[in-house]
Amino acid sequence: MTDISFIAVDWGTTNRRAYAIDANGAVLRTERDGDGILAVPAGGFPDAAAAIRGRFDSDAPMLLAGMVGSNRGWVDAGYVPCTATLDAVAAATVVAGDGIRIVPGVSRSADGRGDVMRGEEVQLFGAVAAGLAPGDALLCQPGTHCKWAWMAAGAIADFTTAMTGELFSLLKAHSLIGADMAAGDVADGDAFRAGVEDARTRDLPAALFGVRASGILGLHAREDAASYVSGLLIGSDCHARLRGDARDVYLLADPVLGALYATAIDIAGGRAHLIDSHAAFVAGITRIHARIRQDPI
Protein backbone atom coordinates (compact mmCIF):
# COMPACT_ATOMS: atom_id res chain seq x y z
CA MET A 1 0.00 0.00 0.00
CA THR A 2 1.41 3.38 -1.02
CA ASP A 3 1.27 6.74 0.76
CA ILE A 4 1.61 5.20 4.23
CA SER A 5 3.45 7.57 6.57
CA PHE A 6 3.62 5.06 9.43
CA ILE A 7 1.90 2.00 10.85
CA ALA A 8 0.41 2.34 14.33
CA VAL A 9 -0.37 -0.75 16.39
CA ASP A 10 -2.50 -0.89 19.53
CA TRP A 11 -1.06 -4.19 20.79
CA GLY A 12 -2.77 -5.57 23.87
CA THR A 13 -2.64 -8.79 25.85
CA THR A 14 -5.17 -10.74 23.76
CA ASN A 15 -5.99 -8.49 20.80
CA ARG A 16 -4.20 -6.29 18.31
CA ARG A 17 -5.31 -3.52 15.96
CA ALA A 18 -3.02 -2.04 13.30
CA TYR A 19 -3.62 1.21 11.41
CA ALA A 20 -1.98 2.37 8.18
CA ILE A 21 -1.86 6.16 8.52
CA ASP A 22 -0.97 8.74 5.87
CA ALA A 23 0.94 12.01 6.22
CA ASN A 24 -2.25 13.90 7.06
CA GLY A 25 -3.16 11.57 9.92
CA ALA A 26 -5.92 9.82 7.97
CA VAL A 27 -6.40 6.07 8.41
CA LEU A 28 -5.93 4.31 5.08
CA ARG A 29 -6.69 0.82 6.33
CA THR A 30 -7.18 -1.06 9.59
CA GLU A 31 -6.39 -4.68 10.47
CA ARG A 32 -7.61 -6.35 13.66
CA ASP A 33 -6.88 -9.82 15.00
CA GLY A 34 -6.53 -11.88 18.16
CA ASP A 35 -2.73 -11.99 18.09
CA GLY A 36 -2.11 -10.15 21.33
CA ILE A 37 1.22 -10.48 23.10
CA LEU A 38 0.21 -13.83 24.61
CA ALA A 39 -0.08 -15.29 21.10
CA VAL A 40 3.49 -14.34 20.16
CA PRO A 41 6.09 -17.05 20.92
CA ALA A 42 9.37 -16.26 22.67
CA GLY A 43 11.56 -14.22 20.35
CA GLY A 44 8.73 -13.90 17.85
CA PHE A 45 8.02 -10.17 17.96
CA PRO A 46 10.33 -9.16 15.07
CA ASP A 47 8.60 -11.67 12.79
CA ALA A 48 5.17 -10.57 14.05
CA ALA A 49 5.99 -6.94 13.25
CA ALA A 50 7.31 -7.91 9.82
CA ALA A 51 4.06 -9.78 9.15
CA ILE A 52 2.09 -6.62 9.93
CA ARG A 53 4.20 -4.66 7.47
CA GLY A 54 3.58 -7.43 4.97
CA ARG A 55 -0.18 -7.11 5.32
CA PHE A 56 0.08 -3.45 4.36
CA ASP A 57 2.77 -4.13 1.74
CA SER A 58 4.88 -1.39 3.28
CA ASP A 59 8.18 -0.96 5.07
CA ALA A 60 6.96 2.26 6.73
CA PRO A 61 8.03 3.10 10.29
CA MET A 62 5.99 1.49 13.05
CA LEU A 63 4.83 2.95 16.36
CA LEU A 64 3.52 0.42 18.86
CA ALA A 65 1.52 1.02 22.05
CA GLY A 66 0.01 -1.15 24.75
CA MET A 67 1.17 -4.32 26.46
CA VAL A 68 3.77 -4.91 23.74
CA GLY A 69 5.84 -2.47 25.80
CA SER A 70 5.40 -4.34 29.08
CA ASN A 71 7.80 -6.73 30.78
CA ARG A 72 5.79 -9.52 29.12
CA GLY A 73 5.99 -7.96 25.67
CA TRP A 74 8.71 -7.20 23.13
CA VAL A 75 10.67 -4.55 25.02
CA ASP A 76 9.91 -3.08 28.44
CA ALA A 77 9.33 0.57 27.53
CA GLY A 78 9.01 1.73 31.14
CA TYR A 79 6.73 4.46 32.44
CA VAL A 80 6.56 8.26 32.40
CA PRO A 81 5.44 9.53 35.83
CA CYS A 82 2.50 11.87 36.34
CA THR A 83 2.09 14.63 35.53
CA ALA A 84 2.73 13.13 32.07
CA THR A 85 2.61 15.21 28.90
CA LEU A 86 2.40 14.00 25.32
CA ASP A 87 5.85 15.46 24.65
CA ALA A 88 7.35 13.59 27.61
CA VAL A 89 5.84 10.31 26.44
CA ALA A 90 7.05 10.87 22.88
CA ALA A 91 10.55 11.63 24.16
CA ALA A 92 10.59 8.35 26.12
CA THR A 93 9.66 6.03 23.25
CA VAL A 94 11.96 3.01 23.00
CA VAL A 95 13.54 1.52 19.88
CA ALA A 96 12.49 -2.10 19.38
CA GLY A 97 13.67 -2.77 15.85
CA ASP A 98 14.48 -1.22 12.49
CA GLY A 99 12.17 1.80 12.23
CA ILE A 100 10.07 0.49 15.13
CA ARG A 101 9.42 2.33 18.40
CA ILE A 102 7.28 1.50 21.42
CA VAL A 103 5.35 4.06 23.45
CA PRO A 104 5.98 3.94 27.22
CA GLY A 105 3.21 3.69 29.79
CA VAL A 106 2.34 6.23 32.48
CA SER A 107 2.66 5.77 36.24
CA ARG A 108 1.64 7.56 39.40
CA SER A 109 3.01 7.16 42.90
CA ALA A 110 1.76 9.44 45.65
CA ASP A 111 -0.05 9.27 48.98
CA GLY A 112 1.04 5.66 49.42
CA ARG A 113 -0.75 4.50 46.27
CA GLY A 114 0.84 3.38 43.04
CA ASP A 115 -0.84 2.88 39.68
CA VAL A 116 0.17 2.19 36.08
CA MET A 117 -1.35 2.32 32.63
CA ARG A 118 -0.05 1.10 29.30
CA GLY A 119 -1.83 1.92 26.04
CA GLU A 120 -4.61 4.02 27.54
CA GLU A 121 -2.37 7.09 27.62
CA VAL A 122 -2.47 7.30 23.81
CA GLN A 123 -6.27 7.52 23.83
CA LEU A 124 -6.24 10.09 26.62
CA PHE A 125 -3.84 12.41 24.81
CA GLY A 126 -5.70 11.88 21.55
CA ALA A 127 -9.11 12.65 23.02
CA VAL A 128 -7.88 16.08 24.09
CA ALA A 129 -5.77 16.72 20.98
CA ALA A 130 -8.70 15.91 18.67
CA GLY A 131 -11.09 18.11 20.61
CA LEU A 132 -13.19 15.15 21.76
CA ALA A 133 -12.67 16.22 25.38
CA PRO A 134 -11.46 19.45 27.02
CA GLY A 135 -7.87 19.82 28.19
CA ASP A 136 -9.08 19.91 31.80
CA ALA A 137 -11.44 16.99 32.19
CA LEU A 138 -12.21 13.66 33.80
CA LEU A 139 -11.97 10.79 31.33
CA CYS A 140 -13.09 7.21 31.91
CA GLN A 141 -12.00 4.11 29.99
CA PRO A 142 -14.26 1.21 31.06
CA GLY A 143 -13.08 -2.35 30.66
CA THR A 144 -11.48 -5.21 32.52
CA HIS A 145 -9.42 -2.66 34.42
CA CYS A 146 -11.30 0.63 34.27
CA LYS A 147 -9.15 3.76 34.07
CA TRP A 148 -10.24 7.14 35.40
CA ALA A 149 -7.89 9.93 34.36
CA TRP A 150 -7.83 13.55 35.47
CA MET A 151 -6.44 15.69 32.64
CA ALA A 152 -4.94 19.13 33.27
CA ALA A 153 -3.97 21.35 30.32
CA GLY A 154 -3.93 18.22 28.14
CA ALA A 155 -1.56 16.30 30.44
CA ILE A 156 -2.36 13.25 32.58
CA ALA A 157 -2.26 14.77 36.05
CA ASP A 158 -3.52 11.72 37.96
CA PHE A 159 -5.45 8.50 37.41
CA THR A 160 -7.03 5.54 39.17
CA THR A 161 -7.48 1.96 37.98
CA ALA A 162 -10.46 -0.08 39.21
CA MET A 163 -10.67 -3.86 38.66
CA THR A 164 -14.39 -3.56 37.89
CA GLY A 165 -14.62 -5.79 34.84
CA GLU A 166 -12.24 -8.40 36.21
CA LEU A 167 -14.22 -8.65 39.44
CA PHE A 168 -17.42 -9.25 37.46
CA SER A 169 -15.74 -12.03 35.46
CA LEU A 170 -14.29 -13.65 38.58
CA LEU A 171 -17.62 -13.56 40.39
CA LYS A 172 -19.42 -15.08 37.42
CA ALA A 173 -16.85 -17.85 36.89
CA HIS A 174 -15.77 -18.75 40.40
CA SER A 175 -18.14 -17.46 43.08
CA LEU A 176 -21.19 -18.72 44.96
CA ILE A 177 -23.40 -16.34 42.98
CA GLY A 178 -21.90 -17.35 39.60
CA ALA A 179 -24.74 -19.73 38.71
CA ASP A 180 -27.30 -16.99 39.35
CA MET A 181 -25.29 -14.56 37.22
CA ALA A 182 -25.19 -17.07 34.36
CA ALA A 183 -28.99 -17.18 34.21
CA GLY A 184 -29.30 -13.90 32.28
CA ASP A 185 -27.37 -11.26 30.38
CA VAL A 186 -26.43 -7.78 31.58
CA ALA A 187 -28.87 -5.13 30.42
CA ASP A 188 -29.49 -1.49 31.29
CA GLY A 189 -32.79 -2.05 33.03
CA ASP A 190 -34.38 -1.91 36.47
CA ALA A 191 -32.05 -4.54 37.98
CA PHE A 192 -28.90 -2.78 36.77
CA ARG A 193 -30.12 0.59 38.01
CA ALA A 194 -31.10 -0.91 41.36
CA GLY A 195 -27.56 -2.22 41.70
CA VAL A 196 -26.11 1.22 40.95
CA GLU A 197 -28.40 2.80 43.53
CA ASP A 198 -27.59 0.16 46.16
CA ALA A 199 -23.86 0.69 45.58
CA ARG A 200 -24.29 4.20 46.98
CA THR A 201 -25.39 3.08 50.44
CA ARG A 202 -24.99 -0.67 50.90
CA ASP A 203 -22.07 -2.76 52.08
CA LEU A 204 -20.73 -4.21 48.81
CA PRO A 205 -19.62 -7.66 50.12
CA ALA A 206 -22.95 -8.11 51.89
CA ALA A 207 -24.92 -6.89 48.87
CA LEU A 208 -23.14 -9.47 46.71
CA PHE A 209 -24.07 -12.32 49.03
CA GLY A 210 -27.61 -10.94 48.99
CA VAL A 211 -27.82 -11.95 45.33
CA ARG A 212 -27.66 -15.60 46.40
CA ALA A 213 -30.13 -15.14 49.24
CA SER A 214 -32.60 -13.23 47.07
CA GLY A 215 -32.56 -16.02 44.51
CA ILE A 216 -33.22 -18.69 47.11
CA LEU A 217 -36.04 -16.73 48.75
CA GLY A 218 -37.63 -15.72 45.46
CA LEU A 219 -37.21 -12.01 46.13
CA HIS A 220 -35.66 -11.34 42.72
CA ALA A 221 -35.55 -13.21 39.42
CA ARG A 222 -32.33 -15.14 38.85
CA GLU A 223 -32.28 -13.74 35.30
CA ASP A 224 -31.66 -10.29 36.80
CA ALA A 225 -28.66 -11.33 38.88
CA ALA A 226 -25.96 -10.47 36.33
CA SER A 227 -27.46 -7.04 35.68
CA TYR A 228 -27.76 -6.33 39.39
CA VAL A 229 -24.16 -7.39 40.12
CA SER A 230 -22.93 -5.33 37.18
CA GLY A 231 -24.82 -2.37 38.59
CA LEU A 232 -23.28 -2.90 42.03
CA LEU A 233 -19.73 -3.01 40.67
CA ILE A 234 -20.01 -0.24 38.08
CA GLY A 235 -22.03 1.82 40.55
CA SER A 236 -19.36 1.41 43.24
CA ASP A 237 -16.74 2.49 40.71
CA CYS A 238 -18.67 5.60 39.63
CA HIS A 239 -19.79 6.65 43.13
CA ALA A 240 -16.21 6.37 44.40
CA ARG A 241 -14.88 8.58 41.63
CA LEU A 242 -17.63 11.24 41.54
CA ARG A 243 -18.59 11.42 45.22
CA GLY A 244 -21.70 13.39 44.34
CA ASP A 245 -19.83 15.87 42.14
CA ALA A 246 -22.08 16.94 39.25
CA ARG A 247 -19.32 17.01 36.66
CA ASP A 248 -18.79 15.92 33.08
CA VAL A 249 -17.20 12.53 32.41
CA TYR A 250 -15.88 11.69 28.95
CA LEU A 251 -16.24 7.98 28.21
CA LEU A 252 -13.86 6.16 25.87
CA ALA A 253 -15.78 2.92 25.45
CA ASP A 254 -17.71 0.70 23.08
CA PRO A 255 -21.43 1.57 22.85
CA VAL A 256 -22.67 -1.30 25.05
CA LEU A 257 -20.31 -0.86 28.00
CA GLY A 258 -20.34 2.89 27.50
CA ALA A 259 -24.13 2.96 27.85
CA LEU A 260 -23.94 1.08 31.18
CA TYR A 261 -21.34 3.50 32.53
CA ALA A 262 -23.32 6.47 31.23
CA THR A 263 -26.36 5.30 33.21
CA ALA A 264 -24.28 4.76 36.35
CA ILE A 265 -22.59 8.15 36.01
CA ASP A 266 -26.00 9.80 35.63
CA ILE A 267 -27.29 8.08 38.79
CA ALA A 268 -24.09 9.08 40.61
CA GLY A 269 -24.78 12.72 39.74
CA GLY A 270 -22.44 13.21 36.79
CA ARG A 271 -22.96 13.92 33.10
CA ALA A 272 -21.59 11.32 30.69
CA HIS A 273 -20.32 12.00 27.17
CA LEU A 274 -19.48 8.97 25.01
CA ILE A 275 -16.60 9.60 22.60
CA ASP A 276 -14.91 7.47 19.93
CA SER A 277 -12.01 5.56 21.51
CA HIS A 278 -10.58 4.48 18.13
CA ALA A 279 -10.55 8.06 16.84
CA ALA A 280 -8.87 9.10 20.08
CA PHE A 281 -6.16 6.45 19.68
CA VAL A 282 -5.44 7.51 16.09
CA ALA A 283 -5.27 11.18 17.09
CA GLY A 284 -2.94 10.40 19.99
CA ILE A 285 -0.57 8.05 18.18
CA THR A 286 -0.39 10.41 15.17
CA ARG A 287 0.67 13.31 17.38
CA ILE A 288 3.24 11.19 19.21
CA HIS A 289 4.64 10.09 15.84
CA ALA A 290 4.77 13.72 14.64
CA ARG A 291 6.66 14.75 17.79
CA ILE A 292 9.21 11.97 17.28
CA ARG A 293 9.74 13.05 13.66
CA GLN A 294 10.21 16.69 14.68
CA ASP A 295 12.62 15.86 17.47
CA PRO A 296 14.32 12.50 16.73
CA ILE A 297 15.55 10.78 19.86
Return the CA Rg of the chain. 21
83 preceded by a cis bond (ω within 30 of 0) = yes
**In three state form, how does the secondary structure of 100-163 look?**
EEECCEEEEEECCEEEEECCHHHHHHHHHHCCCCCCCEEEEECCCCEEEEEEECCEEEEEEEEC
Per-residue pLDDT of the chain (297 residues; tens, 9 = 90+): 569 999 999 999 999 999 999 999 999 999 999 999 999 999 999 999 999 999 999 999 999 999 999 999 999 999 999 999 999 999 999 999 999 999 999 999 998 999 999 999 999 999 999 999 999 999 999 999 999 999 999 999 999 999 999 999 999 999 999 999 999 999 999 999 999 999 999 899 999 999 999 999 999 999 999 999 999 999 999 999 999 889 999 999 999 999 999 999 999 999 999 999 999 999 999 999 999 977 655
Which among 104, 119, 100 has a CA at the least distance from the CA of 46?
100
For residues 177 and 212, is the Cβ–Cβ distance under 8 A?
yes
The pTM assigned to this predicted structure is 0.93
- pLDDT on residue 245: 85
- pLDDT on residue 2: 64
* Cα–Cα distance measured from residue 26 to residue 3, given in angstroms and rounded to the nearest whole number: 11
Q: All domains of the chain, ordered by start, with CATH?
A: 6-130 (3.30.420.300), 163-275 (3.30.420.310)
H/E element, 31: strand 27-33
- pLDDT on residue 296: 58
* Cα–Cα distance measured from residue 76 to residue 271, given in angstroms and rounded to the nearest whole number: 37
